[in-house]
Amino acid sequence: MTTVYDIPADAFIEAMAKELKEKHEAVKPPEWSEYVKTGVSKENIPENPDWWYVRGASILRKIYIRPNVGVQHLRNAYGSRYRRNKMPAHFRKGAGKIIRKLLIQMEEAGLVEKSEGKGRRISRNGRSVMDRVAHSVKKSLEKEIPALQKY
> Which residue from 102, 97, 116 is spatially nearest to 60, judged by alpha carbons?
102
Confidence of residue 116 (pLDDT cuts 50, 70, 90): confident
What's the structural domain count of the chain? 1
Residue 107: pLDDT above 80? yes
Using CA atoms, how far apart are residues 129 and 76, in angstroms rounded to an integer?
Answer: 26
Which tens digits make up the pLDDT trace of 53-65? 999 999 999 999 9
pLDDT at 14: 95
Q: What is the CATH number of the domain that holds 16?
A: 1.10.10.10
Sign of the alpha-carbon dihedral angle for 56, 23, 137, 15: negative
Residue 19 belongs to what domain range?
A: 4-150
Length in residues, the chain: 151
Q: What is the pTM (predicted TM-score) of this model?
A: 0.90
Query: What average pLDDT score do residues 27-48 get?
Result: 88
Mean pLDDT of the chain: 90
